[in-house]
């Protein structure tokens, strides 16, 4: 199938055309992140306004780059939640209009299911590589969520743990704000951390000794604030490096822990934070015998429509009536309601 997908859950406006859930014919992303550099985070009304301005040109460009006519599109997919309500409404309204005008089925896709599908994507001019094989342990970490999933198929899985407070990307964003670095914080901290010493400041290991696979980042953020207050002369690079190290260590402590309990074929790191090079390197060290996959392009780690097209294809394959469901915008829907969750399957 050739799917046209739209993703507007936050401050990216994206449209992609993807074949068979894997081959990315085009993936156009317009980001309004630059507008929020100084505010330290997204202002929802401004993000929605940007979505309205960008959406039509982005769709036109995606069709043009894929050299695709509407007759060649089999279905339209759109992120229906979670995300910022105003931004989601712009994407879903546009997708519904296109689907109706062109007479195509419309699928509403959970944003996180998109991230979970991003490791299937391939560049159109590169040879096909083998598809990932289930069962898969997926760490999905972004600005809006941090979850560890044991997956048996695209739509069947067990949520092993999730963050109890901030998301990992949110912790990077708030940490950057404290350090006087621009939004988005993850890339900014990674850049500065490259010049710093990750052992310079010691940070707590959250939830140590607490069984299960939940995450917590508020203690690491508080420790950064304390370190800055107690040592105002401290180097920003050293603090950034130690802070990044603590977040990555916590993410991987929980992931490696799950590996000792569950037999999986692969580990996937997805979501905006999976773009982090230190996280990838630490994962390779900690899980050296595992098959580790991250999205092949950094553009597929952060928000993009290609992953939504992939998720739509897989959802339709596994749930044949998926395209008959109503597309309902829900700004805070958990992934469990879009997945068939399996409890305690090993």
Q: Are 133 and 104 in contact (CB under 8 A)?
A: no
Question: Taking CB within 5 to 8 Å according to partner kind, which of Zn ion, ligand KG4, none is near residue 276?
Answer: ligand KG4
Question: Taking CB within 5 to 8 Å according to partner kind, which of ligand KG4, Zn ion, none is near residue 186?
Answer: ligand KG4
Site for ligand KG4 in 163-192 (CB under 6 A): 169-170, 172-173, 184-187, 190
The single-letter DSSP state of residue 322 is G
Regarding 273 and contact with ligand KG4 (CB under 6 A), the answer is yes
Instruction: For residues 112 and 145, give the distance between their C-alpha atoms in angstroms, rounded to a whole number.
Output: 8
* Alpha-carbon separation of residue 31 from 7, 108, 277 (angstroms): 11, 22, 22
Rg (C-alpha) for the chain, rounded Å, is 20
Q: Which is nearer to ligand KG4, 173 or 313 (CB)?
A: 173
Which of 19, 170, 303, 313 is in the footprint of Zn ion by CB under 5 A?
Answer: 303
> What is residue 18's three-state secondary structure?
strand
CB of 163 to Zn ion, least distance (A): 14
Q: Which stretch binds ligand KG4 (CB under 6 A): 100-108, 217-225, 269-277, 317-325?
A: 269-277
Q: Are 18 and 2 in contact (CB under 8 A)?
A: yes
Element at 156 (helix H, strand E):
strand 156-162
> Exposure of 338 by Cβ count < 10 A (0-12 exposed, 13-18 middle, 19+ buried)?
buried
Q: Which is nearer to ligand KG4, 122 or 279 (CB)?
A: 279
Site for Zn ion in 142-161 (CB under 5 A): 142
Regarding 243 and contact with ligand KG4 (CB under 6 A), the answer is no
Contact residues for ligand KG4 (CB under 6 A)? 10, 142-144, 169-170, 172-173, 184-187, 190, 271-273, 275-276, 302-303
């Amino acid at each position: 199938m050739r799917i046209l997908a739209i993703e507007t859950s936050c401050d990216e406006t994206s449209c992609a055309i993807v074949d068979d859930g894997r081959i990315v014919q085009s993936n156009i992303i317009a980001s309004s992140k630059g507008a929020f550099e100084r505010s330290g985070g997204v202002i929802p009304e401004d993000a929605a306004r940007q979505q309205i301005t960008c959406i039509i040109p982005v769709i036109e460009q995606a069709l043009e780059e894929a050299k695709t006519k509407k007759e060649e599109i089999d279905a339209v997919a759109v992120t229906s939640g979670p995300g910022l309500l105003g931004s989601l409404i712009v994407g879903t309204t546009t997708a519904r209009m296109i689907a109706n005008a062109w007479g195509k089925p419309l699928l509403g896709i959970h944003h996180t299911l998109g991230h979970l599908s991003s490791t299937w994507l391939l560049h159109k001019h590169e040879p096909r590589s083998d598809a990932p094989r289930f069962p898969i342990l997926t760490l999905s970490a972004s600005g809006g969520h941090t979850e560890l999933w044991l997956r048996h198929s695209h739509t069947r899985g067990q949520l092993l743990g999730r963050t109890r407070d901030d998301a990992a990307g949110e912790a990077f964003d708030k940490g950057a704000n404290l350090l006087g670095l621009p939004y988005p914080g993850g890339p900014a901290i990674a850049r500065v951390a490259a010049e710093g010493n990750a052992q310079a400041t010691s940070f707590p290991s959250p939830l140590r000794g607490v069984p299960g696979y939940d995450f917590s980042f508020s203690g690491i953020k508080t420790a950064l604030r304390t370190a800055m207050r107690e040592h105002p002369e401290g180097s920003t690079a050293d603090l950034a490096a130690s802070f990044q190290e603590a977040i990555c260590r916590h993410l991987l402590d929980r992931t490696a822990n799950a590996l000792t309990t569950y037999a999986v074929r692969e580990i996937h790191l997805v979501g905006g934070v999976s773009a982090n090079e230190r996280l990838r390197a630490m994962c390779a060290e900690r899980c050296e015998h595992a098959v580790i996959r991250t999205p092949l392009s950094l553009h597929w780690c952060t928000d993009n429509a290609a992953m939504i097209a992939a998720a739509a294809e897989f959802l339709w394959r596994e749930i044949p009536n998926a395209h008959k469901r109503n597309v309902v915008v829900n700004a805070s829907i958990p992934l469990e309601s879009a997945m068939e969750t399996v409890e305690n399957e090993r």
